[in-house]
């Protein structure tokens, strides 16, 4: 199942962690980085590890990702939190494939210690700087990388730009991440968070725009944003029925020896159209 919503939860807030799985997000990102003050990081790391141990590996509920700190602190985070309840790690401020390779080595050791199969955990690098954007193609091909995500607040500060309501000032950055993901044949990137938790109409508008750009799913910082994002990334029954019809027609066409056909409205259907139809069906709930 493709996740539509990724809700950030502070790793040093036990009450929020306890409630988070029932909030309706498809995935949680438990934050050990920006949300946690430096003096509280060691305690938060231990608390999150305990919380994860209590979650087990039932497979029920949302996927659980942990945002780990950059550098050596992140490697320590990875050793402590790796376990059966964790889907993957979000590496904050990723800037190079070498940093992802170092994380891969640590996680490989931690998986063995936890009795997990090799390469169980995936990695979602957060690109938050100009250096990260320029290295995006290499980062996307690094070990374990499943998806990319933009950290636009840090990125805007690094670039010296002030985004407007529609974020057009970051258009190039967004397109770069989409293209790097497609070139590396990994899943489409997750759309960046909106820090305005009250304007849900704007959230819906910008989420639709990001979806059209090639993002699939969106991160969020407040439970109120979850239904809006889920709505945007959930195709309507009519859209799903149309996509299934395309797939059925294409399968019949292949059986008859042709790799192209026409849909109900007389439009050409080829492999590119079929890929889009498959994604719609995968997103159907």
What ranges do the domains of the chain cover?
Answer: 5-232, 237-283
Counted residue by residue, the chain has a size of 285
Confidence of residue 57 (pLDDT cuts 50, 70, 90): low
CATH class of 5-232: alpha beta
Confidence of residue 30 (pLDDT cuts 50, 70, 90): very high
| 121 touches 86 (CB < 8 A) | yes
Residue for token pair 């979806």: 211
Helix (H, G, I), strand (E, B) or coil at 268: strand
Among 131, 130, 73, smallest CA distance to 102 is for: 73
Global pTM value = 0.91
φ and ψ at residue 94, rounded to 5 degrees:
-65, 135
Q: List, for residues 67-101, the tens digit of each pLDDT value.
A: 999 999 999 999 999 999 999 999 999 999 999 99
Mean pLDDT for all residues in the chain = 93
pLDDT of residue 59: 63
CA distance 33 to 41: 8
pLDDT for residue 58 is more than 70: no
pLDDT for residue 142 is more than 60: yes
pLDDT of residue 192: 95
Lowest mean pLDDT among 7-16, 59-68, 252-261: 252-261
Q: Label residue 215 exposed, middle or buried (CB < 10 Å: 0-12, 13-18, 19+).
A: buried
pLDDT of residue 237: 87
Lowest mean pLDDT among 92-96, 114-118, 151-155, 238-242: 238-242
Give the residue-averaged pLDDT of 45-59: 85
pLDDT of residue 48: 97
| 243 touches 269 (CB < 8 A) | no
What is the percent of the chain where pLDDT is above 70? 98
């Amino acid at each position: 199942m493709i996740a539509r919503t990724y809700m950030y939860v502070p790793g040093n807030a036990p009450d929020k962690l306890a409630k988070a799985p029932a909030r309706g997000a498809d995935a949680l990102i438990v934050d050990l980085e920006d949300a946690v003050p430096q003096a509280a990081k060691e305690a938060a790391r231990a608390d999150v590890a305990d919380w994860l141990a209590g979650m087990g590996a039932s497979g029920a509920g949302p996927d659980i990702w942990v945002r780990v700190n950059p550098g050596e602190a992140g490697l320590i985070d990875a050793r402590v939190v790796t376990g059966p309840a964790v889907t993957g790690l979000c590496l904050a401020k990723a800037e190079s494939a070498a940093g992802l390779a170092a994380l891969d080595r640590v996680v490989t050791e931690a998986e063995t210690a936890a009795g997990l199969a090799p390469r169980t955990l995936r990695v979602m690098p957060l690109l938050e700087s100009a250096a990260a954007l320029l290295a995006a193609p290499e980062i996307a091909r690094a070990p374990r990388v499943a998806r990319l995500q933009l950290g636009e607040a840090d990125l805007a500060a690094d670039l010296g730009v002030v985004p407007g309501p529609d974020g057009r000032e970051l258009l190039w950055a967004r397109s770069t991440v989409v293209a790097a993901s497609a070139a590396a044949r990994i899943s489409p990137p997750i759309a960046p968070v909106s820090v305005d938790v009250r304007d849900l109409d704007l959230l819906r508008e910008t989420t639709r725009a990001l979806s059209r750009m090639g993002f699939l799913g969106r991160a969020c910082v407040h439970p109120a944003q979850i239904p809006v994002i889920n709505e945007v990334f959930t195709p309507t029954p009519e859209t799903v029925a149309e996509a299934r019809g395309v797939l059925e027609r294409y399968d019949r066409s292949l059986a008859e020896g042709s790799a192209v056909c026409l849909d109900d409205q007389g439009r050409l259907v080829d492999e590119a159209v079929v890929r889009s139809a498959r994604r719609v069906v995968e997103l159907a709930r």
